[in-house]
Structure 1
Amino acid sequence: MSYEQVAWARRLKVKHLESFLVLDEAGTLTEAAARMHMTQSAMSHWLADLEELVGMPLVTRGRRIQLTPAGNIMKRLAIGVLGDISRTQLELGAVAAGRRARLHIGSVWAGVARGMPQALAGFQAQHPYISVTVSESPFGNLLEGLENRQLDVVIGSLDARAHQARLEHRELFEDNVCLVIGRASRLWDAQGPVRLADLVDENWIMPPKGTLMRSQLDAALLDSGAPWLLPKVETAAITTLQALVHQGDYVGVCSGAMAEYQAALGNMRILPLDRTIRFGPVGVVWSRDNPAEAVRLFVEHLVRTVGGGAHAHAQA
């Protein structure tokens, strides 16, 4: 794009666009001037100046002004530019008031499945000018993001890693570890509880080593008398798990919250077991050094909508 093509826009002022929109809405120069608290001659000047910049008439004068085709194009420009300015002003006001205009949230599968999307939608309905970025990852990775300030809030398992001096947390709900299968599994029609020890030779899709879910499952396998087993696939991605259980005879491992969510959608079935494998409490964690108002607002909303008023825990 050459300089000559945009030269007129470089001389364009917000006052041009504001006056033009008011004129279109008012219908007459007299009424538009009154709304803009200026004289009719001043309003005429702004219109003439804008038409000179554009290089063609924008309105047809009569009892009530009418927009020309060029006028309609300029109206779209005015609405877009003034809308952007208005939204920016609201965001700047939020920053000036100590609220961050962007919130970075990290979550494990359980948080994504149970309540977080609904809570997030409700939160943004109340605070529409706080944009949100959501990441899914194992809890250890999320805590690293919290430490290096890439994340503002983390939803995950409240194990010892959440009880650090610089972190605060609130419990949301208790969760379990579940085994899931797809229609390609020979166990799809299994009735009654299945013994965990009898599943050793299955094709396992398991969470990566070092995750709490993997540790809890390994402990349950050991307690059931099952020997150490080698998973066919290790993944932290629910999309990979979901796709694989429909392609082959696999047994997958995921949080109870995610398993119930996927089962309700008909995407997979929870394999009934002869024991409960406890995952532990799932909660929201944030840095006590983060002063952003958006963090406080989101945590309060999340606890209210997902945690049902769970008690607060803070590490002194």
Structure 2
Amino acid sequence: MEQLLAQWPSGPAKAISNIGTAISFCYKPMMQLWSLNVRHLRAMAAICRLGSVSAAAQAISLSQPAVTQGMARLEQQLGRPLFERRTDGMTPTPAGAVLCARVDKALASLAAGFRAARGGSALGGFAEADRLVTMAQLRALIALADAGSYISASAATGLSQPSLHRAVRELETASGLTLFVRRGRGVAITKAGRIVVRAFRLARTELQAGLFEIAALAGAATGRIAVGAMPLARAKLIPQAVARFHAAHPEVRIDIVDGPHAELMEQLRDGDLDFLIGALRYPEPGKDVEQRRLFDDHLVIAGRARHPLAGSNVPSAEELARYPWVIARGGTPMRRLWEKMFTSAGVEPPAAPVTCGSVLAIRSLLLEGDYLTLLSPDQIARDVESGLITTIGEPLPGTSRPIGITVRAGWQPTGLQQEFLLQVEGMR
């Protein structure tokens, strides 16, 4: 983007035009998704698996002409051949192989979602309702879950309210599930609805990844990377990785999302985030995610530069307990390490008058009095360099925390996502 802005002196119109081109090129695969036909994608996956139109048509209960026409339409929409036609059958091109792999994962998510939502109960509707899902229904259900009302979902997508109502009603009829219930002027999602919406989000994520990978085969380094940033990674690790990656791929959109670990985990499970970077959790959050350790971080005690303990090599636990602390809320890994620092020395943890998870707020509060806190050296490196904050003593033994990457189990990164992760891994 900087390269585009640099053209400003030679003509604002030209620069703005180029910026618009870059943005539209980045978003093209995402907008292209909603124009695709799920039935065509299902037929494509069947051809990849079985090697011929006739076998695929039989497997998905469509006529051969319908499958043939569907593949022609799909190739026209994507602007490239997906199969090599031979007398003995069909084999996927590189673009076809990439998309087939993503379609298989998307369809598997839909099937698993409906199975989980039905829970083996003898409900009405079809046992394999996932085979009836359309792209319009996929878009409508996600939009309604995001917006919380038909009015807001219509405004966000441009879809009419009647079409949104119809899409949800058809899904509920096909599956035998109640997905939303009215609540005031909006809607509330049911337990079954949450399960199905998550499956739809994961399917959308896989299909978008496939479209970005196809674009990459043509030399277009575009896409979106969504990073869940936890506190220890926000100060240095993620900014450095983003800066280096952006320099190499200025047209790739990078979304950095911060928030409590529990909220980021839900967004990861929904497919809205590609991965989380920060302190790992033990025991692990569940079998549906995988954690990859990068390095161990040792915490330091920090206070304002003129703190009474400034310059102390190794203050005792009794000395540390005399001062007010700003620390993370109970139940967090940071809070447990802080409590252990005192209890292991036989000292009762002092009262913490302020609990806070915002590093920005903590750093500002340290400057207002004799407060102490525990932070990673990376989080206060610039404040220490500027002489505003000081570390007290050495990095604390027993406060080691593993820092790493958390992804969905079975997640397959795109080439650009993998390149970004390599940048992160190379930071240490």
For the 8 Å contact 1:193–1:274, the answer to whether it is kept is no
Bigger fraction of residues in helix: 2
For the 8 Å contact 2:298–2:395, the answer to whether it is kept is no
Count residues in correspondence. Answer: 231
Distance 1:265 1:290, change over 3 A: farther
Higher mean C-alpha deviation, range 201-210 or range 261-270: 261-270
For the 8 Å contact 1:162–1:285, the answer to whether it is kept is no
- Note the C-alpha offset of 1:273: 5.6
Determine the structure 2 residue equivalent to 1:115: 237
- Note the C-alpha offset of 1:253: 1.7
Query: Which ranges in structure 1 are unaligned for 5 or more consecutive residues?
Result: 1-74, 308-316
- Note the C-alpha offset of 1:86: 4.8
For 1:239 and 1:252, how far apart are their aligned partners in 2? 13
For the 8 Å contact 1:102–1:130, the answer to whether it is kept is yes
Q: Which has the higher contact order (CA 8 A, sep 6+)?
A: 1
Higher mean C-alpha deviation, range 79-88 or range 107-116: 79-88
For 1:241 and 1:269, how far apart are their aligned partners in 2? 13
Determine the structure 1 residue equivalent to 2:28: 92
Query: Which ranges in structure 2 are unaligned for 5 or more consecutive residues?
Result: 1-10, 31-207, 217-221
Is 1:164 aligned with 2:279?
no
For 1:79 and 1:272, how far apart are their aligned partners in 2? 52
1:104-151 CA distance string (max 9 Å, x none): 212223212343211111111122222222233443443233223342
% same residue: 19
Determine the structure 2 residue equivalent to 1:242: 363
Amino acid at match of 2:16: G
For 1:155 and 1:228, how far apart are their aligned partners in 2? 30
For 1:202 and 1:76, how far apart are their aligned partners in 2? 57
Distance 1:138 1:93, change over 3 A: closer
Larger Rg: 1
1:137-196 CA distance string (max 9 Å, x none): 4434432332233422211222325463222332222111221000352223x3321012
Higher mean C-alpha deviation, range 144-153 or range 194-203: 144-153
For 1:170 and 1:123, how far apart are their aligned partners in 2? 20
For 2:395 and 2:427, how far apart are their aligned partners in 1? 29
For 2:324 and 2:312, how far apart are their aligned partners in 1? 20
- Note the C-alpha offset of 1:225: 1.1
Amino acid at match of 1:281: P
1:227-259 CA distance string (max 9 Å, x none): 132201110001111111111111112124324
**TM-score normalised by structure 1 residue count:** 0.64
For the 8 Å contact 2:291–2:406, the answer to whether it is kept is yes
For 2:18 and 2:238, how far apart are their aligned partners in 1? 34
Determine the structure 2 residue equivalent to 1:15: none
For the 8 Å contact 1:146–1:286, the answer to whether it is kept is yes
1:198-250 CA distance string (max 9 Å, x none): 22121101011121111111112111111132201110001111111111111
Distance 1:246 1:218, change over 3 A: same
For the 8 Å contact 1:195–1:274, the answer to whether it is kept is no
Q: CA RMSD in A?
A: 2.8
Match of 2:261 among 131, 139, 149: 139
For 2:274 and 2:280, how far apart are their aligned partners in 1? 17
Is 1:80 aligned with 2:201?
no
Runs of 4+ in 1 over 4 A off after TM superposition: 75-79, 289-292
- Note the C-alpha offset of 1:297: 2.7
Amino acid at match of 1:244: L
**TM-score normalised by structure 2 residue count:** 0.48
